[in-house]
Each structure stands twice: as C-alpha cells, then as structure tokens.
Amino acid sequence: MPRPDKVQAVEDIKGYFSASSSSFLTEYRSLPVAAQQELRRTLREAGARYRVLKMTLTKRALHDLGHEDLDEWLTGPTAVAFVEDDPVLAAKALVAFSRDNEGLVIKAGMLDGRYIGAEQVARLATLDSRDVLLSKVAGAFNAPLARGASLLGSFTRNAASMFSQLLEKKEEE
C-alpha cells in the first residue's frame, strides 16, 4: 500500500507536467548552490519553474500520464524546468547557462507532449521567441495590404495630378 505522502507527491508532479506546455530535464551534478539559485532566477524570468524531484516518483507520474519514453533520462541528479509560457525563452536560458556552467547538462525535454533530445533543445534555443515570430507573421500579412493601399492611393494621386494639369492647360488656352 503506497504511503499517502508519496501518492500526493506523484499527483503534484503530474500536475506540474500537465500544467506546463513543455519541460526540460537537466543534470546538475557538479553545479554549486549559488549557480543553482542563479539558474532558478534566470528560468523564472523566462517563464519556467526549476524543480528537483525524486526520480522514482517522477517516473511513476510520467507513466501515469503515458510518457514512458523519458525513463532513460530519469537517472542521477535530475531536475526539471517546467515551462508555462514560451518554451523558446526557457530553452535559450538553459542553453546559455549550460554554456557558461559546465555543471549543467541538458538531457532531454518534452514539447507539447512529445519527447525531444538535447540537440533539439539546443535548436529550439536558436529560434526567435513567440512574440517575435508573431510580429513577423503580422508584418508579412500587413506588407501586401500596405502595398495595395499605396497602389490605390497612387491612382487617385495620379488622377488628381492629371486633372490639375488639364485645368492649367485649359486656363492657358
């Protein structure tokens, strides 16, 4: 019979994974406490929460959610960054921090319920943020409209110029 505190811990972990759009597994074996605090602060600014979890309970929670593909990465001192907002910002923060601190190793991640490897997390970090991508899409939609408005404006401008020239010509005659 499982202990009630462990059952509650599994439910909490399932809640973390369910509430997050993505999550990243990291190993923090030789990372000093001060660096871990800096990492937590950096990830909080990027819209993520960094949690050190008991791996047996995490495995159980992931199995309950139907994610058995992360079992190989749930060994050793593993912490999870749970991302609620834009996964690109959190991936950028993790990759930049791991570049500066060799003690942090990015193992794997989950993006919208799919497993991604460490290489894909690094590639994700090279993308523009969601806000930048949305503004680029909006600009792409806006460009043809702006060109069309300019073209329609040129017809009236050209017509007005032609009429004023005709009027000047008639006045001269």
Which tokens is 144 given? 């043809």
Is pLDDT at 171 greater than 70 in this prediction? Answer: yes
For residue 75, the model assigns a pLDDT of: 84
Mean pLDDT for the stretch of residues 52-57: 89
- Sheet containing 22-27, strands listed edge to edge, beginning at the edge strand earlier in sequence: 48-52, 78-83, 22-27, 105-111, 114-117
Using DSSP's 3-state secondary structure scheme, residue 52 falls into strand
State the average pLDDT for the chain: 83
Are 28 and 103 in contact, with CB atoms under 8 Å apart? yes
Are 62 and 132 in contact, with CB atoms under 8 Å apart? no
More confident site: 26 or 150: 26
Burial 11-23 (b: 16+ CB within 10 A, else e): eebbebbeebbbb
For residue 26, the model assigns a pLDDT of: 92
Mean pLDDT for the stretch of residues 117-134: 79
More confident site: 10 or 173: 10
Percentage above 90 pLDDT, the chain: 20
**Could you tell me the pTM of the whole model?**
0.71
Mean pLDDT for the stretch of residues 35-64: 90
For residue 80, the model assigns a pLDDT of: 92
More confident site: 43 or 172: 43
Write the CB contacts of 85 (distance below 8 Å, at least 6 apart in sequence). Answer: 21, 47, 48, 130
Q: In this predicted structure, which of 33-42, 47-56, 130-139 has the lowest mean pLDDT?
A: 130-139
pLDDT-derived band at 134, boundaries 50, 70, 90: confident
Q: How many CA atoms lie within 13 A of 55 on its CB side?
A: 13
Is pLDDT at 1 greater than 70 in this prediction? Answer: no
Give me the phi and psi of 47, to 5 degrees please.
90, 30
Are 107 and 58 in contact, with CB atoms under 8 Å apart? no
**Residue owning tokens 């806006």:** 142
For residue 143, the model assigns a pLDDT of: 65
